Homo-oligomer: A and B are copies of this chain.
């Protein structure tokens, strides 16, 4: 395999870092992280900054029906399907500076490097900022890439409500009014390939002393919502024997699920990240608890089998406290295996550039998960400090970020000239 690595040298570590600094200022938290929930004004401000940079370089910007933002550098054969690079600009409520932002800025840096070199590509190249990857404000996550790839219907995504009852469609319309962009229907373009750079969000690269993770695929994810129903009662007068205490039932259910999903090799990922209690008053026996379940595993069969046992275990635990539980599945994404040839491009670029690397699956979900269903897809990981992510302390070195961008550049050029 022969790869043109000339664009790699034009990747600017300093410029990339400066872009990260400026983007991280939008939604910056006092503890050094970022709070940039999807489709908020803050998210829109981040998009506006990126659009501003793009227009200065003569790239074209457009937006589709779910709010995905496209930045396009034309190819010599503009009628060909473009190659996409990208990730997302939204963050967790107390998120970091790199999760998502890096993939967008690395893609943008590749566009700039090509522009600096006046290096034409045969295919157009586009950087995409996918809408609401995190799924913090609106569920499910990866909303933009799910709608784009047809995994979920657009209408369902637009109807998703945040905790204040605002729909994604309403939030999107407000952003459209505040920052109008040319509209491009998502059905009007199909990518020839997709590359996504991302921090690892786990400890493996750092532990191995590797600079680049050549990502083989993504473990599967099932997201479920559990509603536990009991009955309100006075905390002072109601004997335990007649209580229908939803917190007690939820505690029993989560404890039972922890036992169910405990594996000695510690591969299963089980998280209850969200919990809402009603009426949430200290002296009322609670009548309702809603909690989220995030279950992940690299093996499709294991993920299905374990996930399928959750409802019975949760319901039985709730019954033991005279409550009921309703379990609904929010999403079930099978483990993803990336395209061999595209992963090989990333592997070869890494080898040519001389970076120590590790072949690995991704523990986290990414937009690449959905893109891989419609086009050849691969990802490039770089290490993050202590494997910490979804945390204001998230950190990555400028040198590693630039290294990942150089690998991205080499793979991109190969795909864009094909």
Using a CB–CB cutoff of 8 Å, the interface residues on chain A facing chain B are: 92-94, 134-136, 139, 141, 200-203, 219, 221, 223, 231-242, 245, 247-248, 251-252, 254-255, 258, 262, 266, 268-287, 289, 292, 294, 296, 362-365, 387-392
Contacts and interface: CB of A to CB of B under 8 A. Distances in A.
A251 to B, nearest CB: 5
Contact of A236 (B136, B274, B363): B363
Contacts of A262: 240
A346 B248 CA distance: 39
Question: Interface majority SS on A: helix, strand, loop or mixed?
Answer: loop
A279 B37 CA distance: 12
A282 B232 contact: no
Contact of A141 (B266, B283, B286, B392): B283
A93 B390 contact: no
Contacts of A365: 236, 283
Nearest to A389: B234
8 contacts: A236-B364, A237-B389, A240-B266, A248-B272, A271-B282, A273-B280, A273-B283, A284-B391
A37 B18 CA distance: 49
Nearest 3 A-B pairs (CB), nearest first? A202-B237, A237-B363, A282-B292
A270 B248 CA distance: 10
A320 to B, nearest CB: 12
Most buried by B among A134, A262, A281, A364: A281
Contact of A271 (B135, B255, B285): B285
Contact of A235 (B248, B275, B390): B390
A284 B365 CA distance: 12
Contacts of A258: 248, 251
A268 B237 CA distance: 10
Contacts of A296: 235-236
A78 to B, nearest CB: 38
B273 A275 contact: no
A283 B363 contact: no
A332 to B, nearest CB: 14
Nearest to A286: B273
Given A135-B283, A238-B387, A283-B294, A251 B245 contact: no
Nearest to A240: B266
